[in-house]
Amino acid sequence: MRLLIVEDDPVLSDGLCVGLGMAGFTTDPVTTLADASEALQTGDFGGVVLDIMLPDGSGLDLLTELRSRGDRIPVLLLTARDRVRDRVLGLDAGADDYLGKPFDLDELSARLRAMLRRHEGRAAGLIAWNGLSLDPAAQTGRLQDRLLNFSRREFAILHALIEHPGHILSKSQLEERLYGWQEEVESNTVEVHIHNLRAKLGRDFIRTVRGLGYRLAGEDGT
Amino acid sequence: MSIKLRLFLILALSTGLVWLSAVLWIEGSTRAQVEKVLDARLSESANMVSSLISDHRIEVGDAASRPATITMPASGDYSRQLSCQIWSLRGDLIGASSGAPSSRLAGREGFASSQIDGEEWRVYSVRNDDLGVTVMVGDRVSVRDNLVYDVVAGLLWPALVILPLLAVLIWISVGRGLAPLERLETALRARSPSDLSPLPAGKAPREIRPIRRALNSLFSQLERVRRTERDFTAFAAHELKTPLAGLRMQAQIARQARDDDARAKALTAIELSVDRTDRMVRQLLDLATVEGDENPPERFDLSDLCVEIAASLRQPAQARAVQLSCDISAELSLATNRFLLFAALRNIAENAILASPQNSKVRLAAWQDEGEVIIQVTDEGPGIHPDDLPRVTDRFFRGRATPFQGSGLGLSIAAAAVIRLHGSLTFPTYDKGQTVEVALPV
């Protein structure tokens, strides 16, 4: 899951990128509202971690702007101002969740997963498809009582596909989910990861749609 | 003493004084009137007795016989108080009213005062040459005093009843008059210390209105100060919580990291964050001290101060390989608050060093110029963005182009200190780097 991190403090921003990366998220950091606004218009993000006090204004303004133009992207506000009134203000401005500084990395990851899950319309923590049950918190899967371990990138691809099982995702769409801006995209990696996934899940679990991309096989075997 | 008691005493004493002087005045004028009337009665009675003798309607004896008893013409109580004597020209008492003293009442004709048996008398004597007698009519002065006393007492008794009544009325009136003040007091006393809203606007006497206005303006000033402080505290908390969040995050990363490289990176970030938090706490303390410092001015050499600043900034300067130079004449001395100037220049120089590229120079220069001492700190960094200049001394404001993560307090401290030194802080533009200029009156 790819997240946009809007935080101007370099140590915290770095910590968020590394820490959330360890929890299975792909992250892109920006430090100003202007950069955040631009990134949201061009990039494909699953969610936003947004600080309120930023050098060029309030994160709440960005949030209001997003909601007013109909963008439903999940947003978690991250701020030191965590009195009830601030929380109410933030949630009413359109935030999906609110976390006061300083916070626990595991709690932040869990809240982000819950937020994204709700956004996808799921209540359960596990995602199930075709006999596979996927656990985003542990980054593991279970197929017919067999525990499967995935690498971070394998899991990210599988997670992307299982969110919308019938949809076809192109190679570049998958790459975007895999890499932050600073990371160099290696050619053929998507193919390599798909190959590894098929080895773990069975040949027919992921279908290649020639010229378009990949999708999961339907539960009826199509 | 309360205003109520003071007003009451003033009113009661002045009312009493007015009464007293009225009584004294009435006593004086009554006495004068009584004297006049009674004197007239004396002469009238004497003349009447004299004419009655001439008409032989009063018989007087001769020198050998006992003096005849004269009945005074009746006219009320007062007549009984009169005494009459008739003396022959030879000096024999030939007639007297009952109760008249036996010794001669007066020695000469007309009005006279005399002492008889230890008592003061007022006497009128008239000489009847036809019969060769002198008629004397007199009364005791104590009788006259009693008359005056009766009049005055007639006035004083009601006063004794009225004065306490008046005192009660004054006390009540003063209380009522001061009621608006008391209402103000009650309103103020009932307030909670945090309530700085204006006083209720209702009707108030002209004298109370200025007080209410002054109080309201004080309240609004206090409210402003408190809001500023609250904002400042909220900002400070935010600014401290952010590095704390970074610290916690990096600490968790260090614990969870699977490889040594990631752990080492997290630990470096922790150190960096601790340094920055430490700097921010020091600057918060600096700001508080700068705003409250009351040290007296002292004379010192500017070059010494500069050396001291350079020494305190050795560590950040070395870390960026920045060379800090002082270009100040050894004779340039100043008489001002040394701590405030130190705080201002240290923070400006620290900002300059942190904004400097590696291997560059920060130059401190000072000179005297027509009643002013100009101190400039110049770096070779990217400079402050022109759009940021108006807000650059705002607390916690960080410029958008900051290559380093400052606390946003350095220039606020400098500005606060320079204002307290009655100087000015400006950002003159030159073609390269950033210059911060402090101008102080000599």
> Which residues of A are less than 8 Å from B274 in CB distance?
none
Residue where a domain stops, chosen among B290, B322, B339? B290
**pLDDT at res. A77:** 93
Q: Are residues B219 and B350 in the same domain?
A: no
Average pLDDT, chain B: 85
The answer, yes or no, to whether residue A5 has pLDDT greater than 90, is: yes
Residue where a domain stops, chosen among B242, B272, B290? B290
Class of the CATH-defined domain A2-119: alpha beta
Q: How confident is the model at residue B400 (pLDDT cuts 50, 70, 90)?
A: low
- Terminus-to-terminus CA distance in chain B, angstroms? 50
Range of the domain at B66: 3-163
Place of tokens 């990861």: A193
**pLDDT at res. B280:** 86
**What is the number of residues in chain B?**
442
User: Which residues on neighbouring strands pair with residue B333, listed in sequence order?
Assistant: B301
**pLDDT at res. B404:** 60
Interface contact B241, partner A, CB < 8 A? yes
The answer, yes or no, to whether residue B405 has pLDDT greater than 70, is: no
Interface contact B405, partner A, CB < 8 A? yes
Q: How confident is the model at residue B106 (pLDDT cuts 50, 70, 90)?
A: confident
CA distance B190 to chain A (A): 28
CA distance B207 to chain A (A): 43
Three-state SS across chain A? CEEEEECCCHHHHHHHHHHHHHCCCEEEEECCHHHHHHHHHHCCCCEEEEECEECCEEHHHHHHHHHHCCCCCCEEEEECCCCHHHHHHHHHCCCCEEEECCCCHHHHHHHHHHHHHHHCCCCCCCEEECCEEEECCCCEEEECCEEEECCHHHHHHHHHHHHCCCCCECHHHHHHHHCCCCCCCCCCHHHHHHHHHHHHHCCCCEEEECCCEEEECCCCCC
Question: Is B253–A79 a contact, with Cβ atoms under 8 angstroms apart?
Answer: no
User: What are the residue boundaries of the structural domains of chain A, listed by start?
Assistant: 2-119, 127-216
Q: Are residues B251 and B356 in the same domain?
A: no
For the whole model, what pTM was predicted?
A: 0.59
State the best of A9, A11, A78, A151 to mutate against chain B, taking most chain B CBs within 10 Å. Answer: A11
What CATH number has the domain bearing residue B361? 3.30.565.10
Q: Are residues B326 and B218 in the same domain?
A: no
**pLDDT at res. B319:** 87
**pLDDT at res. B76:** 54
Q: Are residues B69 and B100 in the same domain?
A: yes
**pLDDT at res. B267:** 93
State the best of B232, B238, B240, B242 to mutate against chain A, taking most chain A CBs within 10 Å. Answer: B242
Interface contact B127, partner A, CB < 8 A? no
Average pLDDT, chain A: 87
**pLDDT at res. B331:** 82
Q: Are residues B21 and B108 in the same domain?
A: yes
Three-state SS across B295-316? CCCEEEEHHHHHHHHHHHCHHH
The answer, yes or no, to whether residue B62 has pLDDT greater than 70, is: no
**pLDDT at res. B423:** 93
Confirm whether B189 is domain-assigned.
no
Query: Is the model more confident about B151 or about B373?
Result: B373
Strands A75-79 and A97-100: parallel
CA distance B176 to B170: 10
Dihedral angle computed from the Cα positions of residues B19, B24, B29 and B32, in that order, rounded to the nearest 10 degrees? 160
User: What pLDDT, in 10s, does the model give residues B250-292?
Assistant: 999 999 888 899 899 999 999 988 988 888 888 888 888 888 7
**pLDDT at res. A133:** 86
Give the pair of three-digit tokens for residue B122: 């007022």
**pLDDT at res. B248:** 92
Nearest residue on chain B to A105, alpha-carbon basis: B249
**pLDDT at res. B309:** 92
CA distance A215 to chain B (A): 33
Share of chain B above pLDDT 90, in %: 24
The answer, yes or no, to whether residue B393 has pLDDT greater than 90, is: no
Give the pair of three-digit tokens for residue B265: 């990176």
User: What pLDDT, in 10s, does the model give residues B80-96?
Assistant: 678 888 888 888 888 88
Q: How confident is the model at residue B439 (pLDDT cuts 50, 70, 90)?
A: very high
Question: Is B253–A101 a contact, with Cβ atoms under 8 angstroms apart?
Answer: no
CA distances from B285 to A189, B280, B413 (A): 54, 9, 10
Nearest residue on chain A to B268, alpha-carbon basis: A11
The answer, yes or no, to whether residue B425 has pLDDT greater than 90, is: yes
Question: Is A11–B269 a contact, with Cβ atoms under 8 angstroms apart?
Answer: yes
Domain tally, chain B: 3
Interface contact B385, partner A, CB < 8 A? no
Range of weakest confidence among A60-74, A166-180, B294-308:
A166-180
Mean pLDDT along residues B333-340: 90
Centre a 10 Å sphere on the Cβ of residue B70 and count the other Cβ atoms it contains: 22
Share of chain A above pLDDT 90, in %: 30
Give the pair of three-digit tokens for residue B63: 């020198």
Q: Which residues contact B263 (CB under 8 A, 6 or more apart)?
A: B253, B254, B257
Cβ–Cβ under 8 Å, residues A53 and A94: no
Give the pair of three-digit tokens for residue B37: 């009337």
Q: Are residues B207 and B242 in the same domain?
A: yes
Range of weakest confidence among B26-30, B352-356, B385-389, B404-408:
B404-408
**pLDDT at res. B379:** 92
CATH architecture of the domain covering A127-216: Orthogonal Bundle (1.10)
User: What pLDDT, in 10s, does the model give residues B219-249?
Assistant: 999 888 888 888 888 778 777 888 889 999 9
Largest interatomic CA distance in chain A? 53
SS3 content of chain B, % helix, strand, coil (to 5): 55, 20, 30
User: What pLDDT, in 10s, does the model give residues B115-158?
Assistant: 888 888 889 998 888 888 888 888 888 888 888 888 888 878 88
What CATH number has the domain bearing residue B224? 1.10.287.130
SS3 (DSSP) at B135: strand
Sheet of B110-116, strand order: B68-70, B93-97, B83-88, B133-140, B119-128, B110-116
A101 vs B245, B276, B398: nearest CB: B245
The answer, yes or no, to whether residue B10 has pLDDT greater than 70, is: yes
User: Which residues on neighbouring strands pair with residue A16, listed in sequence order?
Assistant: none
Nearest residue on chain B to A12, alpha-carbon basis: B246
Cβ–Cβ under 8 Å, residues B341 and B421: yes
Q: Are residues B274 and B358 in the same domain?
A: no
Share of chain B above pLDDT 70, in %: 94
> Which residues of A are less than 8 Å from B262 in CB distance?
18
Confirm whether B179 is domain-assigned.
no
Chain A residues contacting B, CB < 8 Å? 8-12, 14-16, 18-19, 22, 32, 51, 53, 55-56, 78-81, 100-106
State the best of A17, A20, A101 to mutate against chain B, taking most chain B CBs within 10 Å. Answer: A101
Share of chain A above pLDDT 70, in %: 98
**CA angle, residues B433, B435, B441, in degrees to nearest 5:** 170
H helix intervals, B355-422 = 410-420
DSSP assigned state of B390: G
The answer, yes or no, to whether residue B79 has pLDDT greater than 70, is: no
Q: A-B interface: how many C-beta pairs under 8 angstroms?
A: 83
Interface contact B274, partner A, CB < 8 A? no
SS3 (DSSP) at B325: strand
Q: How confident is the model at residue A63 (pLDDT cuts 50, 70, 90)?
A: very high
Cβ–Cβ under 8 Å, residues B245 and A99: no
CA distance B363 to chain A (A): 29
Question: Is A11–B237 a contact, with Cβ atoms under 8 angstroms apart?
Answer: no
Residue where a domain stops, chosen among B163, B182, B213? B163
Question: Is A55–B252 a contact, with Cβ atoms under 8 angstroms apart?
Answer: no
Mean pLDDT along residues A171-195: 80
The answer, yes or no, to whether residue A83 has pLDDT greater than 90, is: no
A9 vs B262, B400, B405: nearest CB: B405
